[in-house]
Amino acid sequence: MYKYDPSSLKAEEFINHEEITETLAYAEQNKHNEPLISEIIEKAKKRKGLSHRDALVLLDCDIPEKNEEIYALAEQIKKDFYGNRIVMFAPLYLSNYCVNGCLYCPYHAKNKHICRKKLTQDEIRAEVIALQDMGHKRLAIEAGEDPVNNPLEYILESIKTIYSIKYKNGAIRRVNVNIAATTVENYRKLKEAGIGTYILFQETYHKESYERLHPTGPKHDYAYHTEAMDRAMEGGIDDVGIGALFGLELYRYEFAGLLMHAEHLEAVHGVGPHTISVPRVRRADDIDPDEFDNGISDDTFAKIVACLRISVPYTGLIVSTRESQKSRERVLKLGISQISGGSRTSVGGYAEPETEEENSAQFDVSDNRTLDEVVNWLMKLGYIPSFCTACYREGRTGDRFMSLCKAGQIQNCCHPNALMTLKEYLEDYASEETKAIGEKLIEKELLNIPKEKVRKIAQEYIDNIHNGQRDFRF
């Protein structure tokens, strides 16, 4: 029998089913308990986060006025920690060969009609140039699990290729990696290759469902998958990104699992996840999201984001183009700090858009706008699109990054970096209209840098960018 222990290295002890079941029952019993809910909200106002139990009570809270307070607090914490900046990234699919049998993903091995592709290094070059030409500086590379077609050497070579390309003023300055769970030794190699965050979604924390949804292939092993972040950290990667695919299991279960996973990483490694992603199951090739019983409404989705925001204030929250413009707009306010833009979810979709017949996409994109349209939209909503990658390049990862946040230096660091990288975007890639809006925004936002000295230097750097120089950072 497994017993709950956040410091254990055994999956079934740090993601303990009994603990989750009890937490769900506790939250259900207390969803109308006004004094308890008020007490938890007060605790959350201290901005030190919440335990999974407290967080789940807020997620379940069924008192409209209290829910308003929860949303207002999420918005406030979002503003205090992230200001109005939104970090931009794009996914880059390297290969959709996969030996696993995941029931919710069209890349599953039994899908014989999906077009299988693996980019050559020359094709990667073309993709990266197309991404740089859009203005991207930060990528998340994705590949299915296939030791023959996508061995680690292929991934390492691809990372090297991506970092080596400097087309016009373009550069990919941070490559995050989303590949299957692997060994400590392989994580060490990824670290040496200079990756940013290692991303691996749990999909579902519910062991039985996990095994049912992953009937074949190495991913079937729940413990090996769930313990992957510990191996990644042992291999020296200190920025890890977790996530659950909402719609597969009960959302309350996944929410508790995500927070328990974060508590576990904090307890064992002294630093929680760098990011949490909240994808929802989407339609794709032979996948129909209606076949999964646990789809969540936009309201529930917003509540999940708000409750995550107050429970793990230092952790970045990501939504992709799986979400529609409308849904993204709502959750940006409540806590999302990173979004993708202009994404293609097929292998090789940037340099040459795919035809209907050769569809190799992992999911259908809901937000089809170009990066320029997304940047323009964000600025009109009052956000600063940021292409910043400074921390990673300054070695501020893991707990060093957390100290920057905890020392409250974000406004003196992220804010000018956001403005400088936005300026680069405007100079090199923006449409006339986007540029005009952006220039005004930069002028206004420079005044919001608290330290005068930093403000002056930022202004100087921005002038230098206008005069053709690139790549300044704090």
Nearest to 346 by CA among 174, 106, 103: 106
Measured in residues, the chain has a length of 474
Q: Which of 107, 205, 246, 387 binds ligand SF4 (CB under 6 A)?
A: 107
> Tokens 């994705």 belong to which residue?
142
CB of residue 347 vs ligand SF4: minimum separation in angstroms?
11
Site map (CB under 6 A) of ligand SF4, residues 172-191, x = contact: --------x-----------
Site map (CB under 6 A) of ligand SF4, residues 195-234, x = contact: ------------------------x---------------
CB of residue 74 vs ligand SF4: minimum separation in angstroms?
19
Distance, CA of 236 to CA of 245 (rounded, Å)? 26
Residue whose CB is less far from ligand SF4, 107 or 461: 107
Nearest to 461 by CA among 472, 453, 450, 449: 472
Residue whose CB is less far from ligand SF4, 130 or 391: 391
CB of residue 39 vs ligand SF4: minimum separation in angstroms?
32
Distance, CA of 47 to CA of 421 (rounded, Å)? 28
> Tokens 């974000």 belong to which residue?
410
CB of residue 91 vs ligand SF4: minimum separation in angstroms?
12
CB of residue 429 vs ligand SF4: minimum separation in angstroms?
19
Q: Which tokens in the block code for residue 415? A: 């804010």
DSSP 294: T
Nearest to 226 by CA among 196, 260, 188: 260
CB of residue 147 vs ligand SF4: minimum separation in angstroms?
12
Q: Are 389 and 261 in contact (CB under 8 A)?
A: no
Nearest to 90 by CA among 135, 140, 156, 127: 140
Piece of the chain touching ligand SF4 by CB under 6 A; list 283-291, 306-314, 382-390, 436-444: 382-390
Q: Are 54 and 320 in contact (CB under 8 A)?
A: no
Residue whose CB is less far from ligand SF4, 34 or 291: 291
**Angle between helices 452-466 and 410-428 in degrees, nearest 10:** 10
Q: What string of DSSP letters covers 241-279?
A: EEEB-BTSS-HHHHHHHHHHHHHHHHHHHS---SEEE--
**Restricting to residues 388-417, which ones interact with ligand SF4 according to CB under 6 A?**
388-391, 413-414, 417
Q: Which of 275, 360, 386, 412 binds ligand SF4 (CB under 6 A)?
A: 386
Q: Which of 50, 59, 94, 102 binds ligand SF4 (CB under 6 A)?
A: 102
Q: Which tokens in the block code for residue 216? A: 């074949």
Piece of the chain touching ligand SF4 by CB under 6 A; list 100-108, 260-268, 277-285, 345-353: 100-108
CB of residue 343 vs ligand SF4: minimum separation in angstroms?
16
Q: By rule CB under 6 A, what count of residues binds ligand SF4?
A: 19
Q: Which of 52, 108, 231, 328 binds ligand SF4 (CB under 6 A)?
A: 108
CB of residue 270 vs ligand SF4: minimum separation in angstroms?
18
How many CB atoms lie under 10 A from the CB of residue 23?
25
How far from chain centre, in Å, is Cα 401?
16
SS (H, E, C) 444-470: HHHCCCCCHHHHHHHHHHHHHHHCCCC
For position 100 contacting ligand SF4 by CB under 6 A, the verdict is yes
Piece of the chain touching ligand SF4 by CB under 6 A; list 105-113, 228-236, 280-288, 365-373: 105-113
Residue whose CB is less far from ligand SF4, 87 or 308: 87
Residue whose CB is less far from ligand SF4, 60 or 145: 145
> Tokens 């183009």 belong to which residue?
321
Contacts with ligand SF4 by CB under 6 A lie at: 87, 98, 100, 102, 105, 107-108, 144-145, 180, 219, 386, 388-391, 413-414, 417
